[in-house]
């Protein structure tokens, strides 16, 4: 494997679990009643984690943000665009920094697995959010690879700008992968959040993507800033071909 691509596969020290760990016992075989008791006890732990995650997401929505005043140029199938154009008329933009160095002939396999797990964009679009991929590779390398993978998500090349460098996707060590979130407010662009490496592992569903945005899921139960309009949970859900109705 190319060393410059290892960060997409790395595991933080101390978090790996060996299948040969002699201290780990095999699960016990128990009665249905014992299983239900153990399951309920574990469920309480899961609920604690869910509530803690909700609190963390609320704190993320309260994070400060920084205005992006630099002009960045991107190349896409529809021509040369600026960062404002990538929002595609929506208020929020989620960028997946896809590892694809200009010298490579194909995109990172780990990043490709991430994109394989991305769902239909209409659900995010319905919450005023656009999801795009950005890589430093030129468009004439991105497009054949995207066709090979069968992806339809918008994918832009930042080859002609400093975007990758300014937002941490390209460093002296090479390419890395992660997400950056932007908000369009009063016709100004703000950078609100970024996460890298293992921080991307929990992302891939509509809920997880909305959770990292300043507007959140925009549902009434959320602890959000007062300027965020909210609606009842579930009520906005549609089949992906019926949002326009």
Segment holding 114, helix H or strand E: helix 109-116
In three state form, how does the secondary structure of 191-204 look? EEEEEEHHHHCCCC
Phi, psi of 59 (to 5 degrees): -70, -35
Q: Tell me: the pLDDT tens digits for 81-130?
A: 999 999 999 999 999 999 999 999 999 999 999 999 999 999 999 999 99
* In the predicted structure, residue 10 carries a pLDDT above the cut 70: no
Quote the pLDDT of residue 26: 81
Q: How confident is the model at residue 17 (pLDDT cuts 50, 70, 90)?
A: low
Quote the pLDDT of residue 19: 54
Q: For 220-241, what is the mean pLDDT?
A: 90
Q: Tell me: the pLDDT tens digits for 148-180?
A: 999 999 999 999 999 999 999 999 999 999 999
Q: Which of 18-27, 70-79, 116-125 has the lowest mean pLDDT?
A: 18-27
Q: Which of 141-145, 164-168, 233-237 has the lowest mean pLDDT?
A: 233-237
Task: Using the structure block, give the residue that is written with the tokens 């909210």.
Answer: 230
Quote the pLDDT of residue 197: 85
Write the DSSP assignment of 56-111 as a string of letters.
HHHHHHTS--EE--S---EEETTEEE-HHHHTTT-SEEEEEE----TT-SS--HHH
189 compared with 3, residue with greater pLDDT: 189
Write the DSSP assignment of 161-201 as a string of letters.
SSHHHHTTSEETTEE--EEEEEEEETTEEEEEEEEEGGGGT
Q: Tell me: the pLDDT tens digits for 172-227?
A: 999 999 999 999 999 999 999 999 989 898 899 999 999 999 999 999 999 888 88
pTM of the entire structure?
Answer: 0.88
Ordered domains of the chain (ranges, CATH): 62-211 (3.40.30.10)
CA 32 from centre of chain: 39
Q: For 38-62, what is the mean pLDDT?
A: 95
Task: Using the structure block, give the residue that is written with the tokens 């071909």.
Answer: 241
Quote the pLDDT of residue 23: 62
Question: From CA 245, how far away is CA 230, in angstroms rounded?
Answer: 20
């Amino acid at each position: 494997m190319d060393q410059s691509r290892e960060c997409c596969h790395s595991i933080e020290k101390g978090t790996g679990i060996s299948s040969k760990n002699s201290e780990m016992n095999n699960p016990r075989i128990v009665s249905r009643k014992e299983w239900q008791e153990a399951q309920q006890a574990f469920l309480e732990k899961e609920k604690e984690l869910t509530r803690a995650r909700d609190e963390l997401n609320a704190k993320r929505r309260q994070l400060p943000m920084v205005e992006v005043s630099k002009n960045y140029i991107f190349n896409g199938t529809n021509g040369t665009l600026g960062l404002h154009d990538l929002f595609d008329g929506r208020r929020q933009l989620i960028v997946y920094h896809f590892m694809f160095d200009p010298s490579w002939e194909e995109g990172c396999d780990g990043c490709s697995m991430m994109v394989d797990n991305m769902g239909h964009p209409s659900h995010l679009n319905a919450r005023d959010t656009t999801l795009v991929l950005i890589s430093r590779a030129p468009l004439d390398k991105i497009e054949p690879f995207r066709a090979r993978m069968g992806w339809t998500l918008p994918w832009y090349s930042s080859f002609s700008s400093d975007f990758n460098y300014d937002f941490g996707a390209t460093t002296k060590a090479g390419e890395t992968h992660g997400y950056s979130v932007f908000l369009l407010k009063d016709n100004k662009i703000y950078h609100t959040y970024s996460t890298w490496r293992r921080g991307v592992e929990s992302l891939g569903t509509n809920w997880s993507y909305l959770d990292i945005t300043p507007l959140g899921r925009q549902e009434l139960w959320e602890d959000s800033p007062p300027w965020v309009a909210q609606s009842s949970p579930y009520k906005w859900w549609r089949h992906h071909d019926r949002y326009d109705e």
